[in-house]
Amino acid sequence: MKRALITGVTGQDGSFLAEFLLEKGYEVHGIIRRSSSYNQERLEDILSPEEAEALKNNKNFHLHYGDITDTSNVIRLISEIRPDEIYNLAAQSHVRVSFDMPEYTADVDALGTLRILEAVRILGLTEKTRIYQASTSELYGKVQEVPQKETTPFYPRSPYGVAKLYAYWITKNYRESYGMFAVNGILFNHESERRGETFVTRKITLAAARIAQGKQDKLYLGNLDALRDWGYAKDYVECMWLMLQHDIPEDFVIATGEMHSVREFATLAFKYAGIEIEWQGEGINEKGIDKATGRVLIEVDPKYFRPAEVDQLLGDPTKAKTLLGWNPTKTPFEELVRIMVEADMRKVEKEEKVKRMFD
């Protein structure tokens, strides 16, 4: 039985990956952080009661307290678990927040990766343990080539992107220096019904559901023109695993090859929630109006603008398609939006009216 360690198991990707690996017959270990309030919803509440029960009672699923900023903890856990595969998904993953917490973001996202690589090296596991590093399309930032592929030069535009740039290169460096099987998955944005509520897609699908059910009045967004290559997270975790099963340690771009704007995402999400949006005005005065009632439902709030923006990202998944046999269009854009809105419509049915202070 293969043994995997997932950092960031309570996150969107970690929860999907844990389920995926358990289904493949792995013994799965996950690192969870101590928190003053409960932080395992994605492993329980978001799953159906049957799935949550199955996960909890699965003898092959083990959770450990830890933090990738804590070197001794990382070394102890890796030494005890002796994993065949490590998936390093832990990160301060919010780009906007990384401008407010640049040093912390670097500690977790850059040095956290180094700590894991070093632990594997120090413990003499370089031959045994394969490592997946969660790299990102944010490395491309100010785009130098369209679409972006494995050879496209990087130009990160946020403290998050810069920290992940270090993680990308240190992973590659350990591979080249010590012959480790350590690879970067350069994943473009991927979303789902388990996406964190402050990322733009989920913020929109939740708001569309709440507005449709009379539980929220308005949605405030930042840059409506941003273009992203959005895929479905459940499809992307398969690729993380495929990269570690490949004969040669190599880096891969994972993307759909299709790009849409935030405005388009919002229009479609509201449509699936039963509201037709008409856009009026320009720039910070642009508004999304309910065609049927004339009510303003979406407004721009400059508070969500970033000091430096990534205007557009479009990935070329040819290498993953060819070498890993991965299908980038398994869940098309429209289907992704529909899955998210339908899940949020069900969730919101059980909710009271909400007012968000921080999103």
Contact between 118 and 171 (Cβ < 8 Å): no
Q: Does 15 bind ligand GDR (CB under 6 A)?
A: no
Binding residue for ligand GDR, selected from 3, 203, 260, 263, defined by CB under 6 A: 203
Q: Does 310 bind ligand NDP (CB under 6 A)?
A: no
Backbone Cα Rg of the chain: 20
Among residue numbers 238 through 277, which ones bind ligand GDR (CB under 6 A)?
Answer: 262
**16: closest CA among 62, 58, 51, 53?**
51
- C-alpha 78, offset from chain centre: 24
Q: Coil, strand or helix: which one is 338?
A: helix
- CB atoms under 10 Å from CB of 149, counted, come to 16
Per-residue interface string for the shown chain with ligand NDP, residues 193-212, x marking contact by CB under 6 A: ---x----------------
Q: Does 199 bind ligand GDR (CB under 6 A)?
A: yes
Catalytic residue among 19, 27, 85, 138: 138
Choose the contact partner of 342 out of ligand NDP, ligand GDR, none; CB within 5 to 8 A by kind.
none
Choose the contact partner of 203 out of ligand GDR, ligand NDP, none; CB within 5 to 8 A by kind.
ligand GDR
**237: closest CA among 1, 23, 3?**
23
Contact between 224 and 300 (Cβ < 8 Å): yes
3-state secondary structure 202-225: HHHHHHHHHHHCCCCCCEEECCCC
160 is a catalytic site residue? yes
Q: Does 256 bind ligand NDP (CB under 6 A)?
A: no
Among residue numbers 100 through 159, which ones bind ligand NDP (CB under 6 A)?
Answer: 108, 134, 136
126 is a catalytic site residue? no
Q: Does 336 bind ligand NDP (CB under 6 A)?
A: no
Non-local CB neighbours of 77 within 8 Å, separated by 6+ positions? 5, 29, 31, 64, 66
Instruction: Return phi, psi of residue 64, to 5°.
Output: -130, 140
19 is a catalytic site residue? no
Per-residue interface string for the shown chain with ligand GDR, residues 87-126, x marking contact by CB under 6 A: ------x-xx------------------------------
Q: Does 184 bind ligand GDR (CB under 6 A)?
A: no
Which residues sit at the interface with ligand GDR, rule CB under 6 A?
A: 93, 95-96, 136-138, 188-189, 198-200, 203, 221-223, 226, 228, 262, 304, 306, 309-310
